[in-house]
């Protein structure tokens, strides 16, 4: 490669501080990472970049995983591909709403009118939130996310992400809303989206439905209560006593009981199958039924089926065709009115109470009636939570929208499993997580949410003569009208005056789950049905990078949408990153309060140092946060500056050839490093590419520079040419990991950006094809033994070695670099003793 820039551009005392500001501005001005859409699809490498949730601040886990993606983007760019690398912001959904509520001290009340002059409180009180209209609330959401997005972009730029910042999008933006609603309408037209009234997992804090993929089990304290159900006289005569006892942690659901269930093979209860018993306190007759999911060895072996206490209740209810007696409302309190068939008198004791309050009152009543046997037994048990919630989920009957995902369709499930097998997974074992999730699906994908800041379900319903919605005849807008908000927009053929009136219309009040939009990030970023030319050049995308815990949500849902709409996988590769762990080996997360924010780390250590730590984490592997490793990265960056200044301090010999054996040996070893780093990157193992490059660099500095610096100071053309060739290659190898320091050094002697230069190839001219790597290995080993002798003699490394005896099978290799070795070790007398098959040894006599 020809040198073009004058050495005068090299500073006297190069330093890391301030490099980020200089190069971030220069890259933006020069469009270094701007995507060139003139290239064909086979010349483009496109990335479905994860849009971070805009609900506060980024943490070090984001830096970790996004650095991994950036190293791959930079490598592909240097390999000659035009890299499509946009950035999105995931700014709708519950996290944003919660942040707005806390930040501004407000809450959304859709019944309130819009106030165009509304100003949030000067001193927000999270405990006394001001109710505001939905439109006012959304305006505050948009205002806060815009501020967060600016802060996020500034941090990403400082980290050195090689994103094309002219191609950002937001999941609540117009393009995203249009794409989400278009995909939904097509799902609806093809029968892949449907509405159903059914038992739904419900978060009583957020008052919204929760999908299967958003669940997590947490240990929760409770107590088993042994409760008697009254038997009929005929049952008593058959030897069953007065009561049959169940054990439950949820006695408050007795008014919701619709049956008792036992295993069909349980001899204890087989005579009761087909008969009825009476619920305690309420006296409702319920059947005793058999089902294979009942557990004979759990509690008393017979359980009550309630509508609904847990997911198993839902299964029993559905498969046994039982009636419904719902008692828990959307707010987590027992409904004010008793369900059909339940006496209003005893129910009034618990009506309107919280679940906890109702449980306490029911237990008191059971004690008083004698239906509680013994005292409750405390127990810790796994309970289902919404992953962002603080209270156990309830199951309520609601009307919700679903998209088919194979949970109830074996053929579709097999298709989606096959889509997963067509992906290249990095690391490969992550595919098992995908398959386990798909094979374990228990139902279709619930996509509707009872929230405010999200993409509206684009549906209205006609109203009948009584003003009631006709749900089986939804009204949809034409795609040309998208995006729409049914709460303010009017369906075709109606006027605003007809909203809510008989024979008029009503809007679907729900918004889409945030995953229903995020599952379309490839389409949104690629301009689906908005920019056909761009879409053809980048879709299906090459890479989806993401964390392993959202394989079940983001990755799978994206595969579902692409399969349904396009009939292809959305990308070719899936690169999965691990978690960041704190020093106690616990996952870092905002909810646990153990996260580290990255800005201070970037300011203290420099972006290259933080990137070095991040890139050292292997694909798919959890990594402990380690400031010690960050400090190593900073030392590496400083060493690159200083070693580069040393190398470039020798005047170039123009087109001189490398001729000396130790120079050729070093370049031959570097050729191997280039081949290994390239192979690692092509396998998405950026950590191995960094490790191989770094290991060679430190050996290059510690051994080779010391061996040849005397010759270089004397103006030896071979030494100078080898040094500069190695520096050129090393800067390009390090560029994906340490973009700032490599760009700085590159600017001292090259034109253009190192990040737009070609990735090194093993066969590049002047890279030592004729060299033998064993020469440098042997000479370096002898040099280390010389240093060891001086260290043991407690003398300066510059001290003279009066006699050096080198023996062994590789002694002849050492002789090829005898002069360099003697100069580096200050050796007076060099003695060579060859011995076939013997290991290489060196005996140094240090002058007194």
Q: 629-638: per-residue pLDDT in tens?
A: 999 999 999 9
Task: Report residue 336's pLDDT band, with 50, 70 and 90 as the boundaries.
Answer: very high
Beta bridge partners of 195: 401
Task: Report residue 213's pLDDT band, with 50, 70 and 90 as the boundaries.
Answer: confident
Q: Is pLDDT of 766 > 80? A: no
Q: What is the pLDDT of residue 782?
A: 87
Of residues 89, 84, 85, the one with CA closest to residue 51? 89
Q: Is pLDDT of 812 > 90? A: no
Q: Is pLDDT of 483 > 90? A: yes
Q: Is pLDDT of 706 > 80? A: yes
Q: What is the pLDDT of residue 533?
A: 96
Dig out the tokens for 792 from the structure. 């043991």
User: pLDDT tens, 115-174?
Assistant: 999 999 988 887 789 999 988 998 998 898 888 899 899 999 999 999 999 999 999 999
CA distance 601 to 654: 42
Task: Report residue 12's pLDDT band, with 50, 70 and 90 as the boundaries.
Answer: confident
Most confident of 51-60, 207-216, 662-671: 662-671
Q: Please, are residues 459 and 508 in contact by the beta-carbon 8 Å criterion? A: yes
Averaged over 733-761, what is the pLDDT? 96
pTM as predicted: 0.85
CA distance 31 to 23: 12
CA distance 302 to 755: 68
Task: Report residue 206's pLDDT band, with 50, 70 and 90 as the boundaries.
Answer: confident
Measured at the CA of 231, the angle between CA 230 and CA 237, to 5 degrees, comes to 145
Q: Is pLDDT of 33 > 90? A: yes
Q: What is the pLDDT of residue 563?
A: 98
Higher pLDDT, 220 or 582: 220
Averaged over 274-294, what is the pLDDT? 94
Query: CB neighbours of 350 closer than 8 A, spacing ≥ 6?
Result: 252, 255, 334, 357, 358, 361, 362
Per-residue HEC secondary structure of 719-775 comes to HHHHHHHHHHHHHHHHCCCCHHHHHHHHHHHCCCCHHHCCCCCCCCCCCCCCCCHHH
Averaged over 499-507, what is the pLDDT? 96
Of residues 171, 172, 155, the one with CA closest to residue 163? 155
- Of 248-252, 438-442, 538-542, least confident by mean pLDDT is 438-442
CA distance 95 to 801: 69
Q: Please, are residues 662 and 779 in contact by the beta-carbon 8 Å criterion? A: yes
CB crowding 344-360: b at 16 or more within 10 Å, else e = eebbeebbebbbeebbe
Q: How many helices (H) and strands (E) does the chain have?
A: 26, 29
Q: What is the pLDDT of residue 2?
A: 44
Q: Give the relative orientation of helices 60-78 and 661-682 as an angle to the nearest 10 degrees.
A: 120
CA distance 621 to 577: 7
User: pLDDT tens, 673-688?
Assistant: 999 999 999 999 999 9
Task: Report residue 808's pLDDT band, with 50, 70 and 90 as the boundaries.
Answer: confident
CB crowding 436-452: b at 16 or more within 10 Å, else e = ebbeebeebbbbbbbbb
Q: Is pLDDT of 451 > 90? A: no
Query: CB neighbours of 815 closer than 8 A, spacing ≥ 6?
Result: 806, 832
Q: What is the pLDDT of residue 98?
A: 82
Q: What is the pLDDT of residue 251?
A: 96
Higher pLDDT, 820 or 2: 820
Q: Is pLDDT of 23 > 60? A: yes
Higher pLDDT, 789 or 415: 415
Q: Is the peptide bond before 116 cis (omega within 30 degrees of 0)?
A: no
Q: What is the pLDDT of residue 771?
A: 87
Task: Report residue 765's pLDDT band, with 50, 70 and 90 as the boundaries.
Answer: low
Distance of alpha carbon 135 from the chain centroid: 31
Query: CB neighbours of 262 closer than 8 A, spacing ≥ 6?
Result: 268, 269, 270, 272, 273, 288, 290, 294, 296, 301, 302, 303
Q: What is the pLDDT of residue 4?
A: 43
CA distance 753 to 745: 10
Q: In 10 A of CB 649, how many CB atoms?
A: 12
Average pLDDT, the chain: 91
Dig out the tokens for 512 from the structure. 């889409």
Averaged over 612-621, what is the pLDDT? 92
Per-residue HEC secondary structure of 354-405 comes to EHHHHHHHHHHHHHHHCCEEEEEEEEEEEEEEECCCCCCCEEEEEEEEEECC
Q: Please, are residues 346 and 334 in contact by the beta-carbon 8 Å criterion? A: no
CA distance 379 to 251: 15
Of residues 758, 760, 757, 755, the one with CA closest to residue 85? 755
Q: What is the pLDDT of residue 595?
A: 67
Of residues 644, 797, 648, the one with CA closest to residue 712? 648
Decide the pairing of beta strands 424-426 and 571-577. Answer: parallel
Of residues 771, 774, 810, 781, the one with CA closest to residue 703? 781
CA distance 651 to 730: 19
Q: Is pLDDT of 698 > 90? A: yes
User: pLDDT tens, 340-371?
Assistant: 999 999 999 999 999 999 999 999 999 999 99
CA distance 664 to 771: 4
Q: What is the pLDDT of residue 1?
A: 42
């Amino acid at each position: 490669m020809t040198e073009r820039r004058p050495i005068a551009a090299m500073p006297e005392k190069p330093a890391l501080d301030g490099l980020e500001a200089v190069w971030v501005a220069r890259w933006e001005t020069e469009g270094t990472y701007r995507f060139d859409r003139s290239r064909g699809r086979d010349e483009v490498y496109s990335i479905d970049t994860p849009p971070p949730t805009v609900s506060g601040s980024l943490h070090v886990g984001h830096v970790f995983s996004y650095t991994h993606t950036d190293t791959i983007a930079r490598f592909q760019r240097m390999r000659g591909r035009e890299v499509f690398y946009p950035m999105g912001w995931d700014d709708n959904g519950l996290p944003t709403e919660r942040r707005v509520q806390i930040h501004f001290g407000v809450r959304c009340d859709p019944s309130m009118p819009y106030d165009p002059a509304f100003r949030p409180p000067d001193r927000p009180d999270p405990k006394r939130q001001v109710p505001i209209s939905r439109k006012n609330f959304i305006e505050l959401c948009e205002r806060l996310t815009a501020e967060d997005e600016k802060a996020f972009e500034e941090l990403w730029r400082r980290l050195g992400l090689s994103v094309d910042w002219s191609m950002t999008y937001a999941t609540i933006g117009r393009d995203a809303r249009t794409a989400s609603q278009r995909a939904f309408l097509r799902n609806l037209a093809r029968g892949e989206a449907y509405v159903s009234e059914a038992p739904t997992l419900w978060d009583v804090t957020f008052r919204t439905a929760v999908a299967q993929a958003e669940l997590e089990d947490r240990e929760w304290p409770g107590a088993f209560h042994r409760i008697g159900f009254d038997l009929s006289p005929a049952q008593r005569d058959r030897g069953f006593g007065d009561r049959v006892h169940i054990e439950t942690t949820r006695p408050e659901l007795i008014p919701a009981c619709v049956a008792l269930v036992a295993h069909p093979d349980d001899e204890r209860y087989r005579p009761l199958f087909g008969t009825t018993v009476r619920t305690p306190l309420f006296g409702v007759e319920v059947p005793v039924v058999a089902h294979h999911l009942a557990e004979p060895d759990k509690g008393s072996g017979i359980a009550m089926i309630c509508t609904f206490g847990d997911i198993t209740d839902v299964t029993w209810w559905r498969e046994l065709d039982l009636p419904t007696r719902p008692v828990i409302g959307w707010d987590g309190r027992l409904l004010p009115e008793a369900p059909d068939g339940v006496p209003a008198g005893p129910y009034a004791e618990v009506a309107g109470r919280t679940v906890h309050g109702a449980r306490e009152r029911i237990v008191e009543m059971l004690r008083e009636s004698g239906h509680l046997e013994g005292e409750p037994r405390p127990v810790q048990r796994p309970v289902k939570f919404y992953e962002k919630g603080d209270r156990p989920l309830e199951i309520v009957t609601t009307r919700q929208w679903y998209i088919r995902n194979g949970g109830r369709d074996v053929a579709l499930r097999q298709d989606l499993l096959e889509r997963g097998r067509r992906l290249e997974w990095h690391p490969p074992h992550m595919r098992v997580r995908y398959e386990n999730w798909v094979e374990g699906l228990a139902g279709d994908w619930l996509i509707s949410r009872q929230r405010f800041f999200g993409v509206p379900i684009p549906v209205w319903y006609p109203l009948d003569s009584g003003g009631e919605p006709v749900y089986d005849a939804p009204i949809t807008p034409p795609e040309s009208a998208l995006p729409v908000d049914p709460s303010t927009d009017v369906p075709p053929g109606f006027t605003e005056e007809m909203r809510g009136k008989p024979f008029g219309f009503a809007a679907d009040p729900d918004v889409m789950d945030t995953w229903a939009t995020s599952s379309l990030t490839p389409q949104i970023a690629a301009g689906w049905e908005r920019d056909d030319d761009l879409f053809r050049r980048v879709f299906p995308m090459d890479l989806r990078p993401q964390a392993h815990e959202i394989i079940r949500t983001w990755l799978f849902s994206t595969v579902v949408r692409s399969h349904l709409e396009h009939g292809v996988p959305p990308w070719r590769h899936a690169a999965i990153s691990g978690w960041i762990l704190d020093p106690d080996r616990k996952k870092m997360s905002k909810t646990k309060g153990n996260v580290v924010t990255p800005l201070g780390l970037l300011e203290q250590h420099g972006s290259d140092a933080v990137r070095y730590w991040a890139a050292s984490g292997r694909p798919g592997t959890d990594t402990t946060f380690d400031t010690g490793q960050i400090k190593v990265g900073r030392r590496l960056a400083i060493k690159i500056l200083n070693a580069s200044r040393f190398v470039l301090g020798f005047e170039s010999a123009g087109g001189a050839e490398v001729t000396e054996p130790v120079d050729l040996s070093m370049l031959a070893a570097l050729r191997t490093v280039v081949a290994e780093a390239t192979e690692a990157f092509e396998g998405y193992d950026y950590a191995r590419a960094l490790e191989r490059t770094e290991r060679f660099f430190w050996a290059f500095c510690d051994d080779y520079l010391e061996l040849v610096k005397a010759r270089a100071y004397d103006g030896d053309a071979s030494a100078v040419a080898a040094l500069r060739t190695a520096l050129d290659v090393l800067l390009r190898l390090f560029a994906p990991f340490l973009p700032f320091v490599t760009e700085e050094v590159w600017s001292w002697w090259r034109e253009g950006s190192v990040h737009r230069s070609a990735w090194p190839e093993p066969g590049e001219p002047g890279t030592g094809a004729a060299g033998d790597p064993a020469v440098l290995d042997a000479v370096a080993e002898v040099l280390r033994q010389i240093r060891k002798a001086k260290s043991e003699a407690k003398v300066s490394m510059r001290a003279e070695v009066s006699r050096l005896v080198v023996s062994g099978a590789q002694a002849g290799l050492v002789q090829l670099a005898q002069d360099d070795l003697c100069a580096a070790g200050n050796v007076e007398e060099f003695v060579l003793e060859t011995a076939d098959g013997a290991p290489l040894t060196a005996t140094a006599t240090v002058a007194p």
